[in-house]
Amino acid sequence: MKLYYFPIAPNPTKVALYLAEKNEGGENIEVEEVRVSLGAQEQKSTEHVARNPFAKLPVLELDDGTHLIESLAIIEYLEECHPDPPMIGREPLERARVRELERIAELGVLYPVAYIIHATNSPLGLPPVPEIAACFRDVLPMALRVLDQRMADGRPFVAGERPSIADCTLQAAMQFARFGKVEIEASYEHLARWDRAYRERAPAKSVLVA
């Protein structure tokens, strides 16, 4: 399998963190990483659009040459093929909680952070749109507050005692916020504690560049 990837970009980073976490847990999923430079707009090349008509990353190329083009679908596919160590939990309620937190991290943090960055100082060169940035600055605190409250019980990871896909998505968002200088206030103390500790772990160190 091949993973078409670019560092910092949050959706590819989620998948890279997931693979690094599996590796840390003893499951080495063989995936060749292929860089597609977003800076050089390589995602818009004919070659890449043939892989993903949306001209985006990540893309997972399977051994039969077919492609998966949505980050969460890629992660869920890999998780079904490699269920241990579990990154979405084992029991139905535990799996629902992990997915709930992952969705909050993506829709409530990753999306707003990405919209704020692309509407102010887009690394893809998109034009500034101050109203969009203002709108997403307004909604961002809600999910940060909810995540902070969930972690107030001192849990080491977003969904509890073990790393899960919620950590991968949230850290991908936090890295993009650091890169794009979107301030996540230190007053979210439990979130800040998790962020510091998570970034010290080997999987994070092997993937994160900001």
Find how far residue 78's CA is from the centre of its chain. 15
Name the amino acid, one letter, at 127: P
Residues 13-52, one symbol each (x = binds ligand GSH by CB under 6 A, - = not), give -------------------------x----x---------
At closest approach, how far in Å is the CB of 43 from ligand GSH? Answer: 5
CB of 53 to ligand GSH, least distance (A): 12
Q: Which two tokens stand for residue 108?
A: 């409530």
> By CB under 6 A, is residue 124 in contact with ligand GSH?
yes
How far apart are CB 56 and ligand GSH at their closest, in Å?
3
- Three-state DSSP at 141 gives helix
Sheet containing strand 67-68, edge to edge, reads 32-35, 2-5, 59-61, 67-68
Minimum distance of ligand GSH from residue 206's CB (angstroms)? 19
Identify residues 142-181 at the interface with ligand GSH (CB under 6 A).
none
Residue 60 within binding range of ligand GSH, rule CB under 6 A: no
Report how far apart, in Å, the C-alpha atoms of 76 and of each of 86, 96, 157 are: 11, 13, 19
Residues 167 and 208: beta-carbon distance below 8 Å: no
Q: Is 112 a binder of ligand GSH (CB under 6 A)?
A: no
For ligand GSH (CB under 6 A), the number of binding residues is 12
Per the CB < 8 A criterion, the answer to whether 191 and 147 are in contact is yes
Dmax over CA atoms of the chain, in Å, equals 49
Q: Residues in the site for ligand GSH, rule: CB under 6 A?
A: 9-11, 38, 43, 55-58, 70-71, 124
